[in-house]
C-alpha cells in the first residue's frame, strides 16, 4: 500500500509542485491550505507522514503540530518552512517535529528526507508489533524472553532477544556489523566481531536442525549477518 501524506502548505504554486513530485514518487497526497483544516483532515486518520508549513492561516504550523501530538505521538512530522532561525528550528523539534527543512530547499534532498522518515516509521511499527514470532518449528516470545527451539525451551538474554528482533525485522536482508553495534550496544564498549559471531552460533544451536548447514542464521564474511525465515 502506498504511503499516505498530509501536505499542509498555503502557497498555491509550491503546494502544487510538492504534491506533483510526491505523487511521482508513488505517494498518496492529501492537501490542506490552513492550520484548522489540516487538524480536521488529520483527525480523519490514515496518514503516514505530515509535511507542515509554519506560517499558515487560522492556526500556525507549531500549533498544528502540538494538536497532532496530543492525539498521535508517533506519526512523523516534517516542517517545511521559510522560518529559518535557530530558535524556530529548536521550537519545531521540541514540540514534536521529526525533521525541519527551510525554504528554498533542494527537491532531491526533500524527497530523500521524506523517504527516510517513512522508512523509520515503518520499522518502528514493526518493532512495536513484534511480540511473538514463529519460523519452522521454532517460536520466540519477545515478552516472556522464552523461546522454543529444536532442543526444547530456552531462556534468552536481553541482548540475544534484541539481536533476534533486529534480524527478524530485517529478514532476508544483510544487517551490517556497524548497524548492530549502533542499535544494540550504543555508547557502551563495543564488542569484537567474534562476540557477535558467538551470538549467531548460539542461535544456530537453539534453532537450526543442523548447526553446520544453517538455513536461518548466516554470517556474511566482511559484511554482516542475515536471517532467513
Percent of the chain with pLDDT over 70: 92
Q: Which residues contact 145 (CB under 8 A, 6 or more apart)?
A: 155, 156, 157, 158, 161
Decide: 80 and 51 in contact? Cβ < 8 Å: yes
**Cβ atoms within 10 A of the Cβ of 189, count?**
5
pLDDT given at position 193? 64
Over residues 180-217, the pLDDT tens digits come to 887 777 655 556 667 888 999 999 999 999 999 999 99
Decide: 229 and 217 in contact? Cβ < 8 Å: no
How do beta strands 49-52 and 28-32 pair? unpaired
Residue 4: its H or E element: strand 4-8
Over residues 63-84, the pLDDT tens digits come to 999 999 888 888 899 999 888 7
Distance CA 168, CA 165 (A): 5
Distance, CA of 158 to chain centre: 21
Distance, CA of 188 to chain centre: 23
Q: Domain ranges in the chain?
A: 4-128, 131-227
Q: Which residues pair with 189 in a beta bridge?
A: none
This prediction's pTM: 0.56
> From 1.10.10.10, 3.40.50.1820, 3.40.50.300, 3.40.50.1000, which CATH number describes the 131-227 domain?
1.10.10.10
Over residues 145-160, the pLDDT tens digits come to 999 999 999 999 988 9
Distance CA 191, CA 8 (A): 46
Query: What's domain 4-128's architecture?
Result: 3-Layer(aba) Sandwich (3.40)
Distance CA 98, CA 101 (A): 10
**Residue 148 burial by CB count (10 A; 0-12/13-18/19+): exposed, middle or buried?**
middle
Nearest to 92 by CA among 65, 123, 132, 128: 65
End-to-end CA distance of the chain: 23
Amino acid at each position: 500500500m502506498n504511503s499516505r501524506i498530509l501536505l499542509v502548505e498555503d502557497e498555491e504554486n509550491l503546494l502544487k509542485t510538492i504534491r506533483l513530485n510526491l505523487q511521482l514518487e508513488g505517494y498518496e497526497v492529501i492537501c490542506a491550505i490552513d492550520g484548522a483544516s489540516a487538524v480536521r483532515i488529520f483527525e480523519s486518520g490514515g496518514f503516514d507522514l505530515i509535511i507542515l508549513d509554519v506560517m499558515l492561516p487560522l492556526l500556525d504550523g507549531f500549533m498544528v503540530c502540538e494538536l497532532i501530538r496530543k492525539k498521535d505521538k508517533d506519526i512523523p512530522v516534517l516542517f517545511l518552512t521559510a522560518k529559518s532561525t535557530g530558535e524556530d528550528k529548536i521550537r519545531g523539534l521540541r514540540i514534536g517535529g521529526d525533521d525541519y527543512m527551510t525554504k528554498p530547499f533542494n527537491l532531491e534532498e526533500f524527497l530523500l528526507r521524506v523517504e527516510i522518515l517513512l522508512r523509520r516509521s515503518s520499522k518502528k511499527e514493526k518493532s512495536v508489533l513484534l511480540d511473538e514470532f514463529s519460523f519452522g518449528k521454532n517460536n520466540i516470545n519477545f515478552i516472556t524472553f522464552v523461546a522454543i527451539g529444536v532442543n526444547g525451551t530456552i531462556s534468552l538474554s536481553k541482548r540475544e532477544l534484541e539481536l533476534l528482533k533486529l534480524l527478524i525485522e530485517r529478514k532476508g536482508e544483510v544487517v551490517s556489523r556497524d548497524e548492530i553495534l549502533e542499535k544494540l550496544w550504543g555508547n557502551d564498549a563495543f564488542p569484537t566481531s567474534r562476540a557477535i559471531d558467538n551470538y549467531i552460533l548460539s542461535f544456530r544451536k537453539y534453532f537450526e536442525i543442523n548447526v553446520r548447514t544453517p538455513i536461518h542464521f548466516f554470517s556474511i564474511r566482511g559484511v554482516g549477518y542475515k536471517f532467513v525465515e
